Structures are given as C-alpha cells and as structure tokens.
Amino acid sequence: MKLQNREGLEEIHAAFYPRLVGELTVVAGSRASAEDCANEAFTRLVLHWNKVSKYDSPIAWLRTVGYRLAVDEQRRSRRQLAAPDHEPPPRPVGDHPYQHEIWQAIRDLPASQREVVVRRAVHDLTDAEIAEELAVPIGTVKSRLSRARTTLRDRLGEPS
C-alpha cells in the first residue's frame, strides 16, 4: 500500500489503530500500555510520513515501531517491579475452550518469540514476510517460531 499524501494517514489510523492496539496488548501486557504504544507509533508515523509513505508497506513500519515500543515498555515495567496488572488478557476471536490460557502463554514468551508468533497468528504472514518486516534473516524467524511452539506445547501440555 503506497500512499503519498497526508490524507492517507487518517485512513491508516481508522483502519489499523484498533487492530494494532489489540496486537500490542498481547505484547505489552495491558491495554493501557498498548494504547500508549500505538499512539506513539502513530505520532512517529506522522513525523516521518514523508519518508515512510514511500515504503512498500507503511503499515509494516508502523507495526514494527509499535512492537518495539511495547517491548521497551514491558522491559521498563519489569525493571520497576510494578504491581501486577489485574486487567484481563485480550479476548481473541474464536471458540477454543482454553483461549485464555493460550493467550496468557503467548504473553509469557520472550518478546522476540512473541513478536513472530503474533505476526503469524494474527496476520498469517509467511516466514519471509516476517523476516522482511523485522529485518532479520529468515532462519532467525524459523528458529524463533520453533522455540516458541516448543515452549507453548510444554506450557499448554500438548503433545510434541
């Protein structure tokens, strides 16, 4: 999606803000943090629009900035040993009976693994697309997904 004018910013915000907040809630651990990170990512998009609008996928840039902000926020929270957030986890669409446990297990993954799992599960991106968005080798994506799947199977008690 190549957009060259500033009107495209409003379209991107209307179309992607709710989804970005949902994804970042899983990464950041709370909806409030996710909203802060999404707002900051959109602010940076506006500031860098002249450059980002020329990219093949300004949305991928926006998502990457949001993820990085959310990971940084989570690290800061852990360092401060803040009281646990009692906000319920996001409720993804679906009818799996263990949905809450699945998303909690995903939230507990290391940030690098959580990032590729969410991009695969929410956006159905291929390994190559994830590697391009994250600017990492495709082998890194495959390795992170493999480790994440193993960890999730262990935590959720599913067979290998």
Q: How confident is the model over 74-114, as pLDDT tens digits?
A: 777 666 644 444 444 444 445 555 677 877 888 888 888 88
For residue 84, count other CB atoms closer than 10 A to its CB: 9
**pLDDT > 70 fraction of the chain, expressed in percent and rounded:** 80
**pLDDT > 90 fraction of the chain, expressed in percent and rounded:** 24
What 21-25 contacts at long range (C-beta under 8 Å, 24+ apart), as own/partner pairs, is 22/90, 22/92, 22/122, 23/63, 23/66, 23/67, 23/118, 23/122, 24/66, 24/67, 24/69, 24/70, 25/89, 25/90
The full 3-state SS of 59-115, as one line of letters, equals HHHHHHHHHHHHHHHHHHHHHHCCCCCCCCCCCCCCCCCCHHHHHHHHHCCCHHHHH
At a CB cut-off of 8 Å and minimum separation 6, what does 116 contact?
130, 134, 141, 144, 145, 148
CATH number for the domain that contains residue 100: 1.10.10.10
Model-level pTM?
Answer: 0.60
Same domain flag for 68 and 110:
no
Same domain flag for 80 and 147:
no
Number of domains the chain contains: 2
pLDDT score recorded for residue 119:
85
- The boundaries of the domain holding residue 107 are 91-160
Listed residues 45, 65, 86: the one ending a domain? 86
Same domain flag for 147 and 73:
no
Listed residues 23, 57, 86: the one ending a domain? 86
The mean pLDDT value of the chain amounts to 80
**Is residue 4 scored above 60 in pLDDT?**
no
Write the pLDDT tens digit of every residue in 38-67: 999 999 999 999 898 888 888 989 999 999
